[in-house]
Amino acid sequence: MADSTKAFCEGEAAWEDMEGPTNSFGSESFADFIKVRRIPNQNIVHRLRQRETHAAFPGTNWHIARSFHQNLFPNFTIVNVEKPPCFLRKFSPDGKHFIAFSSDQTSIEIYKFRGSHAAENILFSREGELLSGTDASNDAAQIRACLFDTFFELMHTTSVAPNGEHLNRECSLFTEDSRYVIVGSAMYVPEEPYPYFFDMYQNNESVAPNPRSPLEDYSLHIVDMHTGRLCDTKQFKCDKIFLSHNQGLYLYRNILAVLSVQQQTVHIFHIGEDGYFVGVRSIGRFCYEDDELMLSHVRQEFNPTQQQVRPFRETAINCLKHRLLVFLYSRAKQDGSPFALRQFFQYFDQFCMLRMWKMQLLDENHLLIKYASEDVVTLRVQDPNSQPSFFVVYDMMSTNVVAVFENTSEELLELFENFCDLFRNASLHSQPVHFTCSASSNIYARQIQRRFKHTIIHAKYGGQTEAVKLLE
């Protein structure tokens, strides 16, 4: 007991010596050595006072200048609110407008959002945090009946879908300035009269339609949010474009990319200030705008009879696939071993049979394209995500393939985890962004993703490779 008391006293003396002016760390006090991390005051009264009296310095990050908005959150819930007979879709990026699709899916309805304070008068006398659906009082019924009209004012109803076509409720894209909205409509190709063969197969990489992936006529419409005017329409006949969840469309600033799965072509459009689609290029059979002119000049020399040659009958590899094969060959040659070249020639036919499945814009010049087999692209297989596929980064300006990754690539998964926002929405870093929450910017989202990955790895028939496939 005496020994332990002595040791305790010696420890206390050593601690006092450490806190003295001549401690072992060479600083005046121990508190100066350890820098305490200061957490900003999150009290709403303090932040209101700071908002009124302290203006942010020029160049201050948006998240710091608008930090007061973290204290604002919904605190009242109303169940079974009555709404117009339509399909509600989404807010515009600036939060000033709300769009909905009519019940017959031929028109788009544009509402003006009056702000969260619009219902202050009708909810002033309510107490608590919930107006349940079982409340049958007259006051509750009146609130449910007029609440939607209190928040939203109908500005325009624009008929956009032509005869026979229906708008896809899960397809809508806003321009960067929230001025225009792009929506898509589709209609099954009629059996009588059936389209011509060379209308369905416009090049030698066109895929074969089937009952699970039928051909349709598509239209893309751009509508002015301020005036409700239908500005322009672009049609794609006898095609296959995945409109749901904007899978076949991608908008980066004023550049719109559209993937035609049937014709294996990526159409690039520029959205003008007046709301018109301006065709820039089509990537697939050709990469440059004048490639077709060059090809026609060569045909005149080797085809003196001027016999018409359909693109579907061409034996040459199309330009985009050629760029991919050149990159794979160059990478195999740079490896320096004969085995890499033998592997390239062994799988050459499989590379030629790859088809474009999905795509997105990384920026104004680069495309990320996902290639897979034709059975996967045309939805003939039950589990397409488990099939082999390739991710290709393509430079539209130089028409070169920059990188190729397999869907089992650990390197690509690491890039996705660390830069998730760039893959999920490329426009996030081109304009002021609201508070994002992803695996690359939020520790809790990263933890959820790691748990999901851990579950797949240790599941039955799982593993590291299967986890990488599902996450990519």
Q: Structural domain boundaries of the chain?
A: 2-33, 75-159, 316-471
pLDDT for residue 57: 81
Q: Say whether pLDDT at 22 is over 50.
A: no
Q: What is the DSSP string of 299-330?
A: HHHH-TT-----GGG--SPPHHHHHHHHHHHH
pLDDT band at 19 (very low <50, low <70, confident <90, very high): very low
Q: Say whether pLDDT at 7 is over 50.
A: no
The answer to whether 197 and 228 have CB atoms below 8 angstroms apart is no
Return all residues near 438 (Cβ < 8 A) that are at least 6 apart.
420, 421, 424, 445
User: At 413, is the secondary structure helix, strand, or coil?
Assistant: helix
- Burial tier of 36 (Cβ tally within 10 Å: 0-12, 13-18, 19+): exposed
pLDDT for residue 305: 65
Q: Say whether pLDDT at 360 is over 70.
A: yes
Q: Largest Cα–Cα distance in the chain?
A: 114
Task: Find which of 2-11, 206-215, 304-313, 428-437 is predicted with most confidence, using mean pLDDT.
Answer: 206-215
**How far, CA to CA in Å, does 167 sit from each of 161, 189, 256?**
6, 16, 19
- Burial tier of 40 (Cβ tally within 10 Å: 0-12, 13-18, 19+): exposed
pLDDT for residue 32: 62
The per-residue pLDDT of the chain, averaged, comes to: 86
- Burial tier of 254 (Cβ tally within 10 Å: 0-12, 13-18, 19+): middle
Q: Which residue has the higher pLDDT, 293 or 222?
A: 222
To the question of pTM greater than 0.85 for the whole model, the response is: no
Only one residue has tokens 């050149």, namely 326
The answer to whether 334 and 349 have CB atoms below 8 angstroms apart is no
Only one residue has tokens 């018109």, namely 276
pLDDT for residue 114: 94
Q: Say whether pLDDT at 28 is over 90.
A: no
DSSP tag of 156: E
CA distance 408 to 401: 19
CA angle, corner 343, sides to 339 and 347, nearest 5?
175
pLDDT for residue 86: 95
CA distance 59 to 67: 15
The C-alpha torsion from 24 through 30 and 35 to 40, rounded to 10°, is: 180
CA distance 259 to 205: 14
End-to-end CA distance of the chain, in Å? Answer: 63
pLDDT for residue 163: 82
pLDDT band at 246 (very low <50, low <70, confident <90, very high): very high
3-state helix, strand, coil in the chain (%, to 5): 35, 25, 40
The answer to whether 381 and 389 have CB atoms below 8 angstroms apart is no
CA distance 102 to 159: 9
Give which of 218, 221, 222, 225 is closest to 240, Cα–Cα. Answer: 218
Q: Say whether pLDDT at 4 is over 80.
A: no
408: alpha, beta or left? (left if phi > 0; alpha if psi -120 to 50): alpha
pLDDT band at 428 (very low <50, low <70, confident <90, very high): low
pLDDT band at 90 (very low <50, low <70, confident <90, very high): very high
Q: What is the pLDDT of residues 104-117, one digit of tens each?
A: 999 999 999 999 88
DSSP tag of 310: -
Other beta carbons within 10 Å of 262: 22
pLDDT band at 227 (very low <50, low <70, confident <90, very high): very high
Phi then psi for 337, rounded to 5 degrees?
-110, 145
R_g (Cα) of the chain, nearest Å: 30
Q: Could you give the count of Cα atoms lying within 13 Å of 47 in the half-sphere of its Cβ?
A: 14
CA distance 5 to 371: 74
